[in-house]
């Protein structure tokens, strides 16, 4: 079901799977249980130490999947002992049957671990609307648990892939007072990626000791600046989930009470870095992507307005096809700024591509050199900077180009 | 500049240019003046009888073109003697130079016709950001006027084309009391088409005698149900313009004072038919389009909510590529309904494609026959009906599929 028609790895992928630090209190396992017809790995199990706190951000879709409904239901409890993720089937739009699959999975995990059902998180990704056999996940939990290990990051990342062409993970260190903590995570997603987190899943773990309300605030902010600042095709899925788990398995860490405490600033910096790293890897695996596009909007009324304008540019099929064609067609950028609906001064608009100023004060500059720009457009990574001339709001947004590959993959994914 | 890379006519086009009735008081002319490097026709001149009233609807872009700024400025005056349209250059984002082109054109037309500058409407479509020589349009007005005729609808429609593969026009008769009036119009647009009227131009003429405030209300409503209910790629241009001109050259028509007068109902019916006909022709010329998609949303909270949901489906690249691949991938329709952000009952959602019920009450029906549906998907015209189960709001939206042709055209349009 989730076969990749274009099986070659994205040309924008990192050279190697990055080194990922283990997180005390986190053990991972992944294997194939037959949900993907290809026989590839399709089940991931993360077991977490007692007293692990958790935060989550979910899709804003009005037609959420059964697993998302379950996670939202238990999130206020703020504690977790396991995260169970299958790929190959989204368990979305499956009615009461879908809820039964979730219930069976949770019950089995509770029995194996000996915890509350409210500590079992579930996520599913893949085809929408295909019923899953009721025990297809539950029946595999005992065996997958036997494979748990502290270093299985790559296996875990591979087990949640659908049309992804490479596994995605990132790791950073941070200081909270004198204690050093680690933040490691993995993610999946390549199509249906958009703000509000189209089919994308992200699982981030730390050994920091932080209350769930603090985790929630930090994750929400980091998500806005990372997973919600990327777009591949403007579509939003029924299943998007980002979870941040904190095991508290750290020695000598001062107590943190509020997300605004200065002592947590370096942790937030590292968390945002992990989120941005994962988000950018998702864009680099955008279906059919040949170029990575970095869009920086400044001079907007607010950070929010800057992000809206950035996403209008990033979601414009005309901008994305122009980049695919290596054509510095800045007129389409003007069009996209105009359609964003946020305040922008046409007569102060500046556009810069790769350090080459194209427009200033509402018109093309005299020294504009199309040949120079045409050469820049041949690169793999393209940076577009736009100043809309009305304020000091600033945001970065990331996307990829729109190519024949996207059409080929999506005109044929399911059949 | 506006050469069509795929020069063959869209497979969804009407067989022939339709018969268009002349409108008393309207004379048209079109010719090539060198704005298109291809040598194709690129200037249209419509001269209107004295006392012609006019209404207009324009792009909501924040970076409007110089001609749009001008038309918005004079619209409150409500009268028109000429509409001058060039293709090949949008005269957008051209700063003060762009305003000078408009001023020179208006001044020359005023001199030729002997009217107020506030009666000269201008529209431009084509490449953004390329300066036009200051008198490139003005210098051609005297000669184009010599070609004016009452039957030149096809020539006029051809003169405003850019990437369009066929000229678009429509005509209807209507009754106001005992008087029969004619409504005829033409339009252009194939890419950058979206609500708020991406690069689309529409010019509609009638010999009815209606005050400009009445025209304005009728046009606004008709536009919402037609030009603002279509989408090709979700992009919005800097130049969109729809103008409705009423010459009043009719005998025996009762006086109309309000848009809500019952006597104007049949006129509105015919006006909306002309607008929908033109809007659908634009979709049928969508860049790379191989299939016409008719989306009917019912059961929404309001007509507005239904249109938002319809446009979310119509703008989804995943839905559009599924149709291109002749794949009845209804999971992507669920996804699009979910992302629209309007109220929808997941557990009452019904989806029907071409008369085949797929889902009911939030899950796939037992009698679902994928083979039957796969055969239907091979047709040129595809109808998707969605009932979201929360109210009685209903709307129709039209779009086309997303194909390799779209990428080919847009990755290479300007260079």
Interface residue B238 vs chain A (CB under 8 A): yes
> Residue B195: pLDDT band by 50, 70, 90 thresholds?
very low
Place of tokens 């009445």: B214
Mutate to test the interface with B, among A65, A68, A125, A411 (most CBs of B within 10 A): A411
Count of pairs with CB atoms under 8 A, one residue in A, one in B: 224
Please give the Cα distance from B295 to B316 (Å, whole number): 12
Catalytic residue among A94, A165, A199, A206: A199
- Comparing alpha-carbon positions, the chain A residue that sits nearest to B321 is A411
Identify which of A335, A362, A404 has the shortest CB distance to residue B235.
A335
CA angle at B58 for the pair A364 and B95, rounded to the nearest 5°: 20
Indicate the DSSP class of residue A79: B
pLDDT at A195 (0 to 100): 38
CB contacts, 8 Å: B126 with chain A:
none
Please give the Cα distance from A63 to B347 (Å, whole number): 9
- The alpha carbon of residue B48 is apart from the nearest alpha carbon of chain A, in Å, by 32
Please give the Cα distance from B304 to B341 (Å, whole number): 12
Structure tokens at B189: 């647009």
Q: Mean per-residue pLDDT for B306-314? A: 93
Whether B335 sits inside 8 A of A402 (CB atoms) is: no
- Is the complex ipTM higher than 0.85? no
Nearest residue to A197 via CA among A91, A125, A289: A125
Compute how many other C-beta atoms are within 10 angstroms of the C-beta atom of residue B146. 8
Whether A63 sits inside 8 A of B344 (CB atoms) is: yes
> Residue B1: pLDDT band by 50, 70, 90 thresholds?
very low
Nearest residue to B56 via CA among B35, B41, B38, B78: B78
Whether A407 sits inside 8 A of B412 (CB atoms) is: no
Identify which of B61, B318, B338 has the shortest CB distance to residue A410.
B318
- Comparing alpha-carbon positions, the chain A residue that sits nearest to B324 is A411
CB contacts, 8 Å: A413 with chain B:
322, 327, 329
Fold observed for domain A292-410: Ubiquitin-like (UB roll) (3.10.20)
Catalytic residue among B59, B125, B199, B403: B199
Residue B367 confidence (pLDDT) above 50? yes
- What is the share, in percent, of chain B residues with pLDDT greater than 90? 69
CB contacts, 8 Å: B61 with chain A:
335, 338-339
In chain A, positions 345-364, which contact chain B (CB-CB < 8 Å)? 346-347, 349, 359, 361-364
pLDDT at A186 (0 to 100): 98
pLDDT at A245 (0 to 100): 98
Element (H, E) at A46: strand A43-48
pLDDT at B6 (0 to 100): 46
- The alpha carbon of residue B413 is apart from the nearest alpha carbon of chain A, in Å, by 8
Q: What stretches of A227-329 show up as alpha helix (H) in DSSP? A: 265-284, 303-315, 317-324
Is residue A28 within 8 Å of A44, Cβ to Cβ? yes
Whether A235 sits inside 8 A of B363 (CB atoms) is: no
- The alpha carbon of residue B185 is apart from the nearest alpha carbon of chain A, in Å, by 26
Element (H, E) at B72: helix B66-74
Indicate the DSSP class of residue B294: E
pLDDT at A238 (0 to 100): 66
Interface residue B371 vs chain A (CB under 8 A): no
| Total residue count of chain A as it appears in this document | 415
Q: What is the pLDDT along chain A (415 residues), one digit of tens a residue?
A: 333 444 588 889 999 999 999 999 999 999 999 999 899 999 999 999 999 999 999 987 777 889 999 999 999 999 999 999 999 998 888 888 899 999 999 999 999 999 999 999 999 998 878 889 999 999 999 999 999 999 999 999 999 998 889 999 999 999 999 999 999 999 998 654 443 334 789 999 999 999 999 999 999 999 999 998 887 665 555 678 999 999 999 999 999 999 999 999 999 999 999 999 999 999 998 888 899 999 999 999 999 999 999 999 998 888 999 999 998 888 889 888 987 888 888 888 999 999 999 998 878 888 888 888 999 999 999 999 999 999 999 999 999 999 888 888 778 644 3
Please give the Cα distance from B91 to B94 (Å, whole number): 6
pLDDT at B261 (0 to 100): 94
Per the annotation, the verdict on A199 as an active-site residue is yes
CATH number (3.40.140.10, 3.60.70.12, 3.90.79.10, 3.40.50.261) of A26-284 reads 3.60.70.12
- The alpha carbon of residue A292 is apart from the nearest alpha carbon of chain B, in Å, by 16
Residue B389 confidence (pLDDT) above 50? yes
Structure tokens at A334: 């003007």
pLDDT at B85 (0 to 100): 98
Please give the Cα distance from B181 to B104 (Å, whole number): 35
Say which range, A206-215, B36-45, B310-319, has the weakest mean pLDDT.
Answer: B310-319
Interface residue A276 vs chain B (CB under 8 A): no
Q: Mean per-residue pLDDT for B6-17? A: 83
Please give the Cα distance from B140 to B105 (Å, whole number): 9
Identify which of A236, A315, A344 has the shortest CB distance to residue B62.
A344
CA angle at B301 for the pair B298 and B305, rounded to the nearest 5°: 75
Backbone angles phi, psi at A217, to 5 degrees: -65, -45
Backbone angles phi, psi at A144, to 5 degrees: -65, -30
Helix axes B330-339, B317-324, angle to 10 degrees: 160
Determine whether A355 is exposed, middle or buried from the number of CB atoms within 10 Å of its CB (0-12, 13-18, 19+): exposed
Q: Assess whether the region B26-284 and the region B292-410 belong to the same CATH fold.
A: no
Please give the Cα distance from B59 to B110 (Å, whole number): 26
Interface residue A413 vs chain B (CB under 8 A): yes
pLDDT at A7 (0 to 100): 55
Contacts for B147 with CB less than 8 Å, ≥ 6 apart: B29, B30, B31
Mutate to test the interface with A, among B297, B316, B331, B389 (most CBs of A within 10 A): B331
Query: Alpha carbon of B129 to those of A66, A358, B88: distances in Å?
Result: 49, 11, 12
CB contacts, 8 Å: B92 with chain A:
331, 334
Could you report how far apart the first and last alpha carbons of chain A are, in Å?
A: 8
Structure tokens at A346: 């046409």
Residue B231, CB half-sphere, CA atoms under 13 Å: how many? 26
Helix axes B212-224, B265-284, angle to 10 degrees: 40
Helix axes A330-339, A303-315, angle to 10 degrees: 130
- What is the share, in percent, of chain B residues with pLDDT greater than 70? 93
Say which range, A82-86, B74-78, B105-109, B404-408, has the weakest mean pLDDT.
Answer: B404-408
Ranges of each domain in chain B: 26-284, 292-410
Is residue B285 within 8 Å of B364, Cβ to Cβ? no
Please give the Cα distance from B64 to B57 (Å, whole number): 13
Helix axes A303-315, A317-324, angle to 10 degrees: 60
pLDDT at B7 (0 to 100): 55
Report the mean per-residue pLDDT for chain B: 90
Please give the Cα distance from A330 to A346 (Å, whole number): 14
In chain A, positions 55-74, which contact chain B (CB-CB < 8 Å)? 59-64
Please give the Cα distance from B197 to B188 (Å, whole number): 11
Structure tokens at A392: 């000091």
Interface residue A129 vs chain B (CB under 8 A): yes
Measured in whole angstroms, the distance separating CA B217 from the mean position of its chain's CA atoms is: 17
pLDDT at B8 (0 to 100): 82
Segment B14-24, tens digit of pLDDT: 999 999 999 99
Interface residue B367 vs chain A (CB under 8 A): no
Interface residue B415 vs chain A (CB under 8 A): yes
3-state secondary structure of B283: helix
Q: Where is pLDDT greater, at B128 or B73? A: B73
């Amino acid at each position: 079901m989730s076969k990749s028609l274009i099986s070659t790895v994205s040309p924008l992928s990192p050279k190697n799977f990055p080194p990922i630090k283990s997180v005390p209190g986190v053990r991972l396992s992944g294997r194939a249980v037959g949900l993907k017809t290809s026989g590839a790995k399709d089940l991931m199990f993360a077991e977490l130490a007692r007293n692990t706190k958790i935060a989550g951000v979910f899709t804003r879709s009005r037609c959420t999947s059964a697993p998302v409904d379950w996670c939202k239901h238990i999130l206020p409890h703020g504690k977790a002992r396991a995260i169970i993720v299958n790929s190959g089937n989204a368990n979305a739009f499956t009615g009461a049957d879908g809820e039964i699959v979730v219930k069976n999975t949770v019950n089995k995990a509770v029995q194996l671990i000996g915890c509350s059902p409210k500590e079992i998180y579930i996520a599913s990704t893949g085809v929408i609307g295909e019923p899953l056999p009721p025990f297809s996940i539950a029946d595999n939990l005992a065996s997958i648990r036997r494979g748990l290990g502290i270093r299985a990051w790559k296996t875990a990342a591979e087990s949640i892939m659908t049309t992804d062409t490479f596994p995605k993970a990132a790791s950073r260190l941070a200081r909270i007072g004198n204690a050093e903590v680690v933040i490691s995570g993995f993610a999946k997603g390549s199509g249906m990626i958009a703000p509000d987190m189209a089919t994308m899943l992200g699982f981030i773990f730390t050994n920091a000791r932080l209350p769930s309300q603090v985790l929630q605030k930090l994750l929400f902010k980091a998500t806005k600046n990372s997973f919600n600042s990327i777009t591949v095709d403007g579509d939003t899925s029924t299943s998007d989930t980002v979870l941040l788990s904190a095991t508290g398995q750290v020695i000598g860490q001062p107590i943190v009470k509020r997300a605004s405490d200065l002592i947590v600033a370096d942790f937030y910096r590292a968390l945002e870095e992990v989120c941005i790293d994962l988000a950018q890897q998702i864009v680099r695996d955008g279906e059919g992507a040949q170029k990575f596009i970095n869009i920086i909007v400044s001079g907007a009324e607010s950070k929010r307005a800057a992000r809206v304008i950035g996403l209008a540019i990033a979601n414009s099929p005309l901008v994305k096809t122009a980049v695919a064609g290596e054509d510095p067609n800045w007129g389409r950028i003007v069009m996209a700024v105009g359609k964003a609906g946020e305040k922008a001064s046409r007569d102060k608009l500046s556009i810069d591509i790769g350090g080459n100023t194209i427009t200033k004060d509402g018109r093309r500059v005299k020294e504009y050199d199309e040949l120079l720009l045409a050469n820049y457009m041949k690169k793999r990574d393209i940076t577009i900077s736009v100043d809309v001339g009305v304020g000091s709001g600033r945001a970065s947004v990331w996307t990829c180009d729109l190519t024949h590959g996207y059409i080929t993959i999506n005109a044929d994914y399911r059949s």
